[in-house]
Amino acid sequence: MAYQTSLVWFRRDLRDFDHAALYHALKTSEQVYCAFIFDTEILDLLGDPVDRRVEFIWESVRELQAALKAKGGDLIVRHAPASHAIPELAQSLKVNAVFSNLDYEPAAIARDAKVAETLQAQDIDFHQYKDQVIFEKEEVLTQAGKPFGVFTPYKNAWLKKLEDYFVKPYPVDHYADRFARTDQADLPSLEDMGFQRTNLASMRLPTGMSGGQQLFEDSLDRIDQYKDARDFPAIKGPSYLSVHLRFGTVSIRHLARTAWQHGGKGAEGWLNELIWRDFYFQILHHHPRVAEGQAFKAEFDRLPFPNREDLFQAWCEGRTGYPLVDAAMRQINLTGWMHNRLRMVTASFLVKDLLIDWRWGERYFVDKLIDFDLSANNGGWQWAASTGCDAQPWFRIFNPITQSERFDPQGKFIRKYVRELAACDDKEIHAPWLIPPLRQQTLGLQIGRDYPQPVVDHATQRLEALALYKQAGGKADA
């Protein structure tokens, strides 16, 4: 046995099964302690004490602690700076090694380096493992050994490399008799940490490992329809597993293996989204500057956006006068989640209709999204802004009206969040400013009073956006 006593540091991997670091710790140690730190160096940066992410984590940690106790172990929980708490805990428990899974965000890498340095000074080993992706870092490269900058060739290489080995589960339970009990396992309350309950319970978003399993089973029943249904926000198309992937209450290997083995158009569409996730992680690894607000395409790093604050506020508050955009923004404000198609629509609208720097929108989503993931959020915003790693030209601009007509044809999603327009028929709800005054009277609706006039004209702004990008160096034959 390599170690007498070890410590597993849980982070964005809140489950007790198919867990790389936990498996390796149990396999190589006689006794294994487990810990989770509510890291004050992260939490203190959150501006709002009503944060769904913190509540989701808290509920998931509570379930994980109970699950580990049922297996004869425990979960030590601290509210402290993780960079100090982990070395202190390792020393007080007299462990020989600390195990964790890799995190690819720059701040996490810096934190882990600091922890590693302190542990080394204490003569404690530190081991880290790939767990939240299928392929990481340099595992999928071009034939020339370079990182991919465009998704489709990356996907083809990813699929070519995929084999059973990369998606097989880690058999944690085989070594469950090596869990260690402790009397240090109190769980601080949300209020103790300065946070409050949110509307998470009323959103019917189940938390923890059990919630992830529930959503997985539900999505599996719909997987054959996934590719056709996923773009329509009014129907149950997505898996809704994004927040569970973010905090590791589900296993990425399990999801990818299921989709890969299931086959068919729907499952392939679902697997495609998981590949996008890996793609953005490797972009972040090879180009960490994107996490510092730099454009992937350097020629578009300093686009001269007008950045009108009043238009930005209208976008944030869901009162742009474009119903699908407003419905989507009201959804994220109310629930902390937004349908993926609408993330593209709202981002394109902010950047290419309102001519506002994509970084403003990226920051807004950072604050609001319960499933916020730095690599995917940055990748998505740069994709919409045409500043990122995308083969499509910069002059692709979504029309918010045609997007609405195509993906919410009956206006069901709009009616749910923009109730002022509920009485409109299926045709007029997409561009209500075109409704004749007499018809507005019949509907009991006055555009400009009950619902705003469009804050900009799409056709005009489209030309402005094209000129702005062209001036910055965009080539018409891009």
In order of start, what are the domains of the chain with their CATH numbers?
A: 3-130 (3.40.50.620), 132-169+208-286 (1.25.40.80), 298-471 (1.10.579.10)
Q: Which pLDDT belongs to residue 391?
A: 59
pLDDT digits (tens, 9 = 90+) for 385-394: 999 887 567 7
Percent of the chain with pLDDT over 90: 92
pLDDT digits (tens, 9 = 90+) for 79-121: 999 999 999 999 999 999 999 999 999 999 999 999 999 999 9
Q: What is the mean pLDDT of the chain?
A: 95
Beta-sheet strand order (sheet of 29-39): 76-80, 29-39, 3-10, 97-101, 125-129
Q: Which pLDDT belongs to residue 185?
A: 66
- Is the pLDDT at 466 greater than 70, yes or no? yes
CB of 338 closer than 8 Å to CB of 331: yes
Q: Which pLDDT belongs to residue 434?
A: 97
CA torsion, points 56, 59, 64, 67, in degrees to nearest 10? -140
Reported confidence tier of residue 292, pLDDT bands at 50, 70, 90: very high
Q: Which pLDDT belongs to residue 392?
A: 67
- The sign of the torsion formed by the CA atoms of 152, 158, 164, 166 equals negative
pLDDT digits (tens, 9 = 90+) for 141-156: 999 999 999 999 999 9
Q: Record the tokens describing residue 477, joined without a space.
A: 């034959």
Average pLDDT estimate for 191-198: 95
Distance CA 414, CA 429 (A): 8
Half-sphere exposure of 246 (CA within 13 A, CB side): 20
Distance CA 261, CA 267 (A): 9
- Is the pLDDT at 176 greater than 90, yes or no? yes
Q: Which pLDDT belongs to residue 186?
A: 84
Q: Record the tokens describing residue 158, joined without a space.
A: 């990813």
Q: Which pLDDT belongs to residue 63?
A: 98
pLDDT digits (tens, 9 = 90+) for 44-78: 999 889 999 999 999 999 999 999 999 999 999 99
Name the least confident of 65-69, 132-136, 181-185, 333-337.
181-185
Reported confidence tier of residue 184, pLDDT bands at 50, 70, 90: confident
Q: Record the tokens describing residue 353, joined without a space.
A: 């209709």
Distance CA 415, CA 402 (A): 17
SS3 label, residue 409:
coil
**Partner residues linked to 83 by β-bridges:** none
CB of 97 closer than 8 Å to CB of 245: no
Tell me the one-letter amino acid at 294. Answer: Q
Distance CA 255, CA 240 (A): 13
Global confidence as pTM: 0.94
Q: Which pLDDT belongs to residue 477?
A: 38
SS3 label, residue 35:
strand
Q: Record the tokens describing residue 152, joined without a space.
A: 């489709």
Q: Report the alpha-carbon angle 338-431-359, nearest 5.
A: 40
pLDDT digits (tens, 9 = 90+) for 303-362: 999 999 999 999 999 999 999 999 999 999 999 999 999 999 999 999 999 999 999 999
SS3 label, residue 164:
helix
Q: Which pLDDT belongs to residue 478?
A: 36
pLDDT digits (tens, 9 = 90+) for 215-254: 999 999 999 999 999 999 999 999 999 999 999 999 999 9
- Is the pLDDT at 476 greater than 50, yes or no? no
Q: Record the tokens describing residue 27, joined without a space.
A: 């396999």
- C-alpha dist (Å) from residue 314 to 107, 210, 384, 405, 459: 32, 38, 19, 22, 19
Q: Record the tokens describing residue 233, joined without a space.
A: 């926000």
Count of other CB atoms within 10 angstroms of residue 264? 13
